[in-house]
Structure 1
Amino acid sequence: MSLQPPVAAVNILDRETLPCALCGGERFVVVLSGARDWIGARPGEFTLARCEGCGLIATRPRPTRAALALYYEGAYSGSGDAGLAEHELGVKGPGRLVNGYRLHVIDQLRKLGENDTLLDVGCSYGGLMWLARKRAGCATVGVDLDEGALNAAHKHPRASYHHGVLTELGLEAGRFNLITFMECLEHDLSPVETLREAKRLLAEGGVIAIEVPCWEGLWRPIFGRFWLPLLMPQHLHHFSPASLRACVEAAGLEVIDQRAMFFPAEATLSLGQALGAALGLPAPGAAQSAAQRVLGGVIGLVLALFWLFVELPAQLLMWLLNRTGHMMLIARAPQASPR
């Protein structure tokens, strides 16, 4: 994902403060400070604040759109390594398992068929689209701001891609039977406006599936600013189950299902991020000394043991309690009352 190409005069530290994207409120309470771009190691600290009016948490102040583009450089681009592309495409590795799990959850409420059309917003390399075509034979359309990822995306006669912002593309109304926002809406500058546009695009009987990090997940207060799903500053909005539902309903949609998702790597990756910061290790992908590589190997072993003996059983319990760090909400246009 990327925003507009950066301009030389843009300062990465440029910030803006806007009213709440949900209720328009202008009174906020700080809930977390000192968050940083731990993955890209770009400058700046960030504060999260909760709207006193509706409870939606957002980054305040947030980078301007032009400054945000600098934080995205190289982070999501299709110019990345081929292994990442294969993962995102679902050709091999965890990407295929994750997308299969997502489609399984959605299928319980709205099963895709070969005459349906899927719109994946924030499609990246098109991995979810690829698997949906393979399983259901449906037509697929992807939207993303990262032109590099779209250029690398899997090409198919029943796949098309659009580069841009959903609200600015003018896609055909009532065309799509399933619209997905997988780990996308938290990046959105105006999530309620985007969901209103998704409602306009939804076919009769269609559904919208949204997956986002969950602020009320039990790992979040443990890891604080090192909690990986914060992904600062690219994640602009930080949803609780209640605030996500409120955004969906403000867009004129009806919630039909909301649940925790089981992704057992959240704590391990957060711990790795915290240890890396504490020990002064370079950002992922940066050059390392021999000593740093050895230390990284030791940390990797510790993380593997932590994942097996701590996170896996704990995450299963959190999933059963509906308190994991990711959630999915499925909505539809309101149904007419029978006469």
Structure 2
Amino acid sequence: MKTSGGKKSTADKRQAERLEQAAPWYEANRHKDFRETRRDNCPSCGSTDLRLWVTATDLVQRKPGTFTMDRCVRCGHVWQNPRLSEEGLGFYYRDFYDGLGETSAEAVFSGKNDPYYGRARLVEPFTKPERWLDVGSGHAHFCLAAKEVLPQTTFDGLDQGAAIEDAARLGRIEQAYRGSFKEFAGELKGRYDVISMHHYLEHVRDPWEELDIVADVLPDGGYLLIELPDPEWRLGRLFGKYWMPWFQPQHQHMMPIGNLEHALADRGLTTVATERAKAHLCNDFTLALLLFLGNIAPRTPAPWRPERVRLRRTRSFLVWSLGIPAFFVAMALDQTVNRFLAARTGNGNAYRLLARKTAQQA
């Protein structure tokens, strides 16, 4: 936002400095191919009966590259194939939650608290936890809201981004662990009554390894709460690449709820509660339109997206001005068609699952 007289605000100046500093790194890396070798069998069940499911570009940041997701016909697992290397994930995550994208990420996750309350309330009938660890906590907005439902619970957070340290400083969590779950596994073992993973497993390269770790870290009788996008939601197929939860290239794996239940059972975790329609957010039409318009006319400058400024600004103004009426239509469809589908089918664009670790036999 600019101040009067055409002078740039402090925020504008800071953003311009970040853009200038980031540009050389992106220029040196933007033409690399970060994809690994394509696999010909399902990472979940091993089947070779695969179907191309989604082809997409990076519709959120619009970093370069085209990505595909395959679906296993046998078990329904959907995953990025070929997947990104670790270096590639670093390229696409950079400046998303931190750096240039910090302000946008903070605005998204500090929105409505109702989903956060819903997660905490799913656990409430089963246990009154003393200590809760939220893995992939980010800015820890969930922990902040969950304290209202469970005021006697101490919440800690783990994440690889710098935001987790800010969350501790702001008092949203008691303790911050910055790094990977695997890195801290030994230190965390047996310390928490509940461990949660909200929209976390779809981001990791090997979700089954993460489940192995959490099964080892949880004490007997401890609970695991997971929330994930639901690849079985019918609008996901209908909207194709514009369905926000496909979220390429960051989402690596999309697990149907049945697959997750079986994977947990194999690790000594028994499912005690699930929510599908209750975890649904009625925003598919609106977010699809947002991605569509943003793909035509990105509104913010970026060091990985060199364009002529005047042309970009003119196109952006025209597209978004004409798109305003469409947003009213999309929001109306979300509150009618989208809500009806969730109520009618009992499913949604996300699901929650609560599992309990059973005591191991001596």
Does TM-score exceed 0.5, indicating one fold?
A: yes
Q: Mind listing any 5+ residue stretches in structure 1 that lack a counterpart? A: none
TM superposition shift of 1:310: 1.2
Q: Does 1:282 align with 2:298?
A: yes
Give the partner amino acid of 2:181: L
1:211-250 equivalence runs, <5 A = 211-250=227-266
1:129 to 134, 143, 158: 143
**Structure 1 residues 235 and 311 mapped into 2: Cα distance closer, same or farther (>3 Å)?**
same
**Contact between 1:12 and 1:68, CA under 8 Å: does it hold in 2?**
no
Between 291-300 and 159-168, the greater mean CA deviation after superposition = 291-300
TM-score of the superposition, structure 1-length normalised?
A: 0.84
Equivalent position SS for 2:228: strand
Deviations 1:179-206 (A, max 9, x none): 1111111001111111121122223332
Q: Give the drift of 1:75.
A: 1.2
Aligned counterpart for 1:165 among listed residues 180, 185, 188: 180
Alpha-carbon contact 2:165-2:178 (below 8 Å) kept: no
Compute the TM-score of the two structures, normalised by the length of structure 2: 0.79
Alignment of structure 1 residues 132-143 onto 2, 5 Å: 132-135=146-149, 136-143=151-158
Tell me the distance in 2 between the aligned counterparts of 1:229 and 1:59: 13
Residue 61 to residue 272, structure 1, CA distance change in 2 (3 Å): same
**For residues 129 and 16 of structure 1, what CA distance do their matches in structure 2 show?**
36
Q: Which has the higher strand share?
A: 1
Q: 2:166 aligns with which of 126, 149, 152?
A: 152
Q: Cα RMSD (Å) of the superposition? A: 2.9
- Deviation of 1:263 after TM superposition, in Å, equals 0.8
Structure 2 CA distance, aligned partners of 1:104 and 1:39?
31
Q: Does 1:22 align with 2:38?
A: no
The letter of the residue matching 1:16 is E
For 2:357 and 2:275, how far apart are their aligned partners in 1?
Answer: 19
Bigger Rg, structure 1 or 2 = 2
SS of the counterpart of 1:204? coil
Superposed CA deviations along residues 148-187 of structure 1, whole A, max 9, x for unmatched, are: 2123214339611111111221233222111111111100
**What is the one-letter code of the residue matched to 1:61?**
P
Instruction: Tell me if 1:306 matches 2:306.
Output: no
Amino acid of the structure 2 residue aligned with 1:310: L
* Structure 2: segments with no counterpart, 5+ residues: 1-24, 303-308
Query: Aligned equivalents of 1:323 and 1:257: distance in 2?
Result: 15
Q: Which moved more, 1:30-39 or 1:219-228?
A: 30-39
Q: Specify which of 54, 61, 65 is matched with residue 44 of structure 1.
A: 65
Partners of 1:158 and 1:40 in 2: how far apart? 29
Letter in 1 for 2:132: L
Name the stretch that deviates more: 116-125 or 171-180. 171-180
1:11–1:161 CA distance, 2 compared to 1 (3 A): farther
Task: Give the Cα–Cα distance (whole angstroms) in 2 for the partners of residues 54 and 16 of structure 1.
Answer: 23
On the 8 A contact 2:228/2:350 being kept in 1, the answer is yes
Quote the offset at 1:134 in angstroms. 4.0
User: Whose helix fraction is larger, Structure 1's or Structure 2's?
Assistant: 2
Residue 328 of structure 1 deviates from its aligned partner by: 0.9
What corresponds to 1:106 in structure 2?
Answer: 123
Identity of aligned residues (%): 24
